[in-house]
Chains A and B, each alone.
Chain A
Amino acid sequence: MIQVTNAVKRFDGFAALDGATLSVPAGSVYGLVGPNGAGKSTLIRCLTGIYRQDEGELTVDGQGVWENEALKCRIAAIADDWYYFPQASVRDMCRFLRGFYPTFSLERYEKLKEVFQIDERRPLRRLSKGMQKQAAFWLTLSAMPDYLVLDEPVDGLDPVMRRQVWSLVLGDVSQRGTTVLVSSHNLRELEDVCDHVGILDHGKVLLERSLAQLQDNMVKLQVVFKDGGGVPEDLEVLHASHVGRIHTLIMRMGAAEATNRLAVYEPMLVDAVPLTLEEIFIYELGGADYAVKDIVL
């Protein structure tokens, strides 16, 4: 479990993290979303031991990450600007990383070779950006970490490879119980893979929920009222819109409760439809004042 409590990190007086608090349950895939400059990369660098937070606590399995070699053996990260030695090939980097990660598996490395289909002897600098990213996944997944920290991980990957990579990551989650913290500025990117989501803005975590919690707490219904009537005034809705006689209502409650509430108005049609992550966040955060629009656009 990753626990961040009131983390503060300042750069020349500017607080990139300003009391961020979040909790990543073990075995979960946690999506950390936020606009550019929200502090996602800073938080990740703190979690991987690159930066030391000025205040607050960052622990993984109850231990501080800073200068904790044993713990860092269990954490592997792919930075948004993944670094490799200028002359190195994938194989060279493999040899290098094997010297650091006791769990690095050559067997896995060989298996993943078939997935990524990159010439392992070719210098990484000669590969395209997308292929370099693939190489980063190849090596990082071969390290068999308990914690995988990914910063904007699929930027530059084509859709097929994105699916492939996520499939591998989720495979590790389900088979080995790997905990994944993934940052992105795009909610849609994380929608299909995350079971927990946190929104970071101006160095603070504005909201964090499990996907189940979010979906249980909010419902989207399509309703047709009798005699073409409108939404009753006494009905509590977060948002209402209509196309012809079909009203679309967003309500902060479960689907069953919402259906019961509507039953008193004897609607001609009540149908619950799935909410996208984007919609949940927009309505949950009220849409205004927060940078949600930056996240979803």
Chain B
Amino acid sequence: MRSKTSYFNPALYKKNLTRFWPLWGGASVLGALAPLALLTVMLQSGGFGRRISTPLEFTLGYYSVVTWFLPALSLVYAALCALAAWGWLYNPRSAGMYHSLPITRKGLFATNFLSGLSMMLIPYAVTGALSVLVSAAAAGVDPAGLLVTILCVLGESLFFFASATLVVFITGNPFAFAAFYFIFHFLAAGAEWLAARLMSMFYFGVDRAYEGVLEFLSPVMFLTRKPSVDASYRQIVTPDGWIDNGVLESVTLVNGWYIAVYALAGLALLGCAWALYRRRRSESAGDVVAVGWMKPVFRYGVALCAAFTGGMVLYSIFCEGFQTRTTAGAAPMAACMAAAGVLGYYIASMLLSKSLRVFRGSWKGALATVLASAALCFAVAADPFGLEAWVPRAEEVQSLLFYTSGLNGNSLHSELTDPAAIQEVLEAHRAILAERDTLDRQRLPEKGYRHVWIILEYFRDGEDESAGRSYSIPCTPALIEQSEALRKLAALAVSPAVQEANIFSSVYGPDQTSRLTGGYLSRLYNPQTGESDSLDLTAEQAKVLEGAIRRDIQAGHFGKTMFLPDEDYDRAAYCGQLELYYSLTSLTGRWTGPRSVSVYLDLSVYSTETVKALESLGLTDETHRLLTCAERDAVEGRLPAGLENPYSFPAAGSIVYPEAAYVYPGESF
């Protein structure tokens, strides 16, 4: 008597689509707005062919949507479609009706899944079809690009809808579904962030919030970051030698295969969803967690997350103010984590039992949560992997990024590849760690202490692998005298390799050509009028100044003001700023056409070569003077009270040069 089983019921499929037409209809209308808007813009801008003139440019647009927009859109829309297709499971009445119908669960599963997937794909199909029409009318169609785009949309839709379907069968009500679904998609990234935050609270210098090690488990983030568009342009050289807007030659979706992998993962999730549905009890409708064995996972998972997040929040509120170091204390953090963990444990228990009466007999679970939270906290604080003391070996570092803030608002930002310079940075890093106990201090009793930030980012295998440290260390005149680490940092600040990278790395590189086009010199003081003036520089003048700057860099003149105390800094640093203009052209197609870039230089009395060059070019003279900050303050009447005489300027030709003006720490006349 048992006859063949149907895996698809047309009546149910049709009913699903007709019931929820506002969902996919509304999404289709919204999606259709994009190609229609593009069409309108193209018509307004003087007909087709003005803005997007080739099929490849449409493909570039499709790929950009796939990489930037599609994952987040699919994430949200899949949740809505899953609720439409499977929402009946959350209501005991509707679940009863569906399951009493003459159709097997296999048939219900397949039909509802196809209904939901159809609801997902219809708006994409409508939008895609209109886009193809606009593309065909404007420039033609690139079949390969279109096919890749369709496959990407299908793959992501399948994955996100399958993941939503799985969450449907784990949960028993729509609120739990929404919470679980979004947690499911961000759990790995969130957990990594929490762990990194906890480590950064414990470990001196480890201040990385998120590195994305587990990002592949947070697909929407992974799919937004990993696949990318690679466009190559053929460049056109104009008769006057300029490289003009290029012609798009090829567009490639880089790492598009990840989408295929996720689509396959979607099939696996679908299999899990089916396995859960087979075991799912209809009476679980309304529960937070519909799968029995997942209830303890949920309970202790919530407790763990609460221990991490709540523990750190409680610590910040109640304990951080009592810290004597920049790093957190393990015992108070353990107490906070245990308290927050217990809170999470009971909240999860209340959600599971849909009752507030969960305390009786629950002490064992609560105790387990306390012990686990505290053990976890102490385990992290013990730094079992030696993250705090880690310094890479020189041979492991291909390049590094060195950033340090100065004491006076100035900073250095250098990307270094020179092995000698890398070695210097590593030694400074080791020196900082060697003086950890001195430098890891929250407050200093000394007057006028400040913190400087040192950020080190080490790269291996290009930029694929990186690890970084970030130190906030106190900097006082006394410490500068005593601290080997600070002395090494000061030496790094004047290092030619570091300064060369700091000043010129943005304009000179293997992937671009640079042309110096001019410059600008600002805040030159005219004692006769009492006003400031600025000067435009010609390309020739800029060229001369660039040479002088390089001589200053080689002589170690730049960077000497980084760690000067306020008064010394004011006497050494010029207010005037030199700006050099460059025109850059990409050799790899990263951008088209020339791009203007400015390089700013803070001059000081130490940059003697540059100051001399300015004089020799006639850019500074009696009526165009560079003033130090102290001189500027004097001119503007900001002398400290009690000083009656205004600042007297040195006569022309007797500009005070650095050797006579200031002795840099560690130097002598």
Is B19 within 8 A of A87, CB to CB?
A: yes
Rounded to whole angstroms, the CA-CA distance of A296 and B622 in the bound complex is 116
- Answer whether residue B54 sits at the interface, using C-beta atoms and an 8 A cutoff: no
Is A100 within 8 A of B103, CB to CB?
A: yes
Q: B-contacting residues of A (Cβ < 8 Å)? A: 11, 45, 48-52, 61, 63, 67-73, 75, 77, 79, 81-83, 85, 87, 95-96, 98-101
Min C-beta distance of B16 to chain A, whole Å: 10
Min C-beta distance of B284 to chain A, whole Å: 10
Q: A61-B1, A100-B11 given as contacts; is B19 within 8 A of A72 (CB)?
A: no
Decide if the interface of chain B is mainly helix, strand, loop or mixed.
Answer: helix
Q: Which of A50, A52, A69, A87 contacts B104, CB < 8 Å? A: A69
| CB-defined contacts of B94 to chain A, threshold 8 Å | 83
A-B contact pairs, 21 of them (CB 8 A): A45-B282, A49-B99, A49-B100, A51-B281, A61-B1, A68-B2, A69-B3, A69-B5, A69-B103, A70-B1, A72-B101, A72-B102, A72-B103, A75-B102, A77-B100, A79-B93, A79-B96, A87-B19, A96-B12, A99-B9, A100-B102
Is B102 within 8 A of A69, CB to CB?
A: yes
Is A69 within 8 A of B6, CB to CB?
A: yes
Is A83 within 8 A of B93, CB to CB?
A: yes
- Answer whether residue B283 sits at the interface, using C-beta atoms and an 8 A cutoff: yes
Rounded to whole angstroms, the CA-CA distance of A44 and B631 in the bound complex is 96
| Chain A: CB-nearest residue to B13 | A99
| Chain A: CB-nearest residue to B15 | A96
Rounded to whole angstroms, the CA-CA distance of A274 and B336 in the bound complex is 77
| Chain B: CB-nearest residue to A51 | B282
Rounded to whole angstroms, the CA-CA distance of A61 and B1 in the bound complex is 10
Min C-beta distance of B606 to chain A, whole Å: 79
Is A83 within 8 A of B96, CB to CB?
A: yes
Is A98 within 8 A of B104, CB to CB?
A: no
Min C-beta distance of A97 to chain B, whole Å: 8
Is A79 within 8 A of B15, CB to CB?
A: no
| CB-defined contacts of A52 to chain B, threshold 8 Å | 281
| Chain A: CB-nearest residue to B18 | A92
- Answer whether residue B666 sits at the interface, using C-beta atoms and an 8 A cutoff: no
Q: Which of B6, B14, B15, B101 contacts A85, CB < 8 Å? A: B15
B: contact size bracket: 20 to 34
Min C-beta distance of B438 to chain A, whole Å: 61
Is A50 within 8 A of B5, CB to CB?
A: no
Interface 1/0 per residue, B10-36 and A, CB below 8 Å: 111011000100000000000000000
Rounded to whole angstroms, the CA-CA distance of A101 and B100 in the bound complex is 12
Rounded to whole angstroms, the CA-CA distance of A61 and B15 in the bound complex is 31
Decide if the interface of chain A is mainly helix, strand, loop or mixed.
Answer: loop
Rounded to whole angstroms, the CA-CA distance of A95 and B9 in the bound complex is 13
Rounded to whole angstroms, the CA-CA distance of A45 and B19 in the bound complex is 26
Min C-beta distance of B3 to chain A, whole Å: 4
Min C-beta distance of A72 to chain B, whole Å: 4
- Answer whether residue B231 sits at the interface, using C-beta atoms and an 8 A cutoff: no
| CB-defined contacts of A100 to chain B, threshold 8 Å | 9, 11-12, 101-103
| Chain B: CB-nearest residue to A149 | B100
Rounded to whole angstroms, the CA-CA distance of A45 and B104 in the bound complex is 15
Rounded to whole angstroms, the CA-CA distance of A192 and B282 in the bound complex is 34
| CB-defined contacts of B6 to chain A, threshold 8 Å | 69
Is A50 within 8 A of B11, CB to CB?
A: no
Q: A79-B93, A87-B19, A95-B11 given as contacts; is B2 within 8 A of A48 (CB)?
A: no
Rounded to whole angstroms, the CA-CA distance of A67 and B93 in the bound complex is 19
- Answer whether residue B190 sits at the interface, using C-beta atoms and an 8 A cutoff: no
Is B283 within 8 A of A63, CB to CB?
A: no
Is A51 within 8 A of B283, CB to CB?
A: yes
Among the interface residues A11, A45, A69, which one has the most CB atoms of the partner chain B within 10 A? A69
| CB-defined contacts of B11 to chain A, threshold 8 Å | 95-96, 98-100
Is A69 within 8 A of B107, CB to CB?
A: yes
Is B103 within 8 A of A85, CB to CB?
A: no
Min C-beta distance of B647 to chain A, whole Å: 83
Q: A61-B1, A96-B11, A99-B9 given as contacts; is B104 within 8 A of A11 (CB)?
A: no
Rounded to whole angstroms, the CA-CA distance of A105 and B92 in the bound complex is 28
Rounded to whole angstroms, the CA-CA distance of A153 and B526 in the bound complex is 102
| CB-defined contacts of A50 to chain B, threshold 8 Å | 95-96, 99-100, 282
Rounded to whole angstroms, the CA-CA distance of A295 and B6 in the bound complex is 42
Beyond the given A45-B100, A51-B283, A100-B9, please list 11 additional residue pairs across the A-B interface where CB-CB is below 8 A.
A45-B96, A51-B282, A68-B2, A70-B3, A72-B102, A81-B92, A82-B97, A98-B11, A99-B12, A99-B14, A100-B12
Is B101 within 8 A of A81, CB to CB?
A: no
Min C-beta distance of A2 to chain B, whole Å: 15
Is B105 within 8 A of A99, CB to CB?
A: no
Min C-beta distance of B93 to chain A, whole Å: 4
Instruction: Give the residues from 263 to 320 in chain B that come closer than 8 angstroms, CB to CB, to chain A.
Output: 281-283
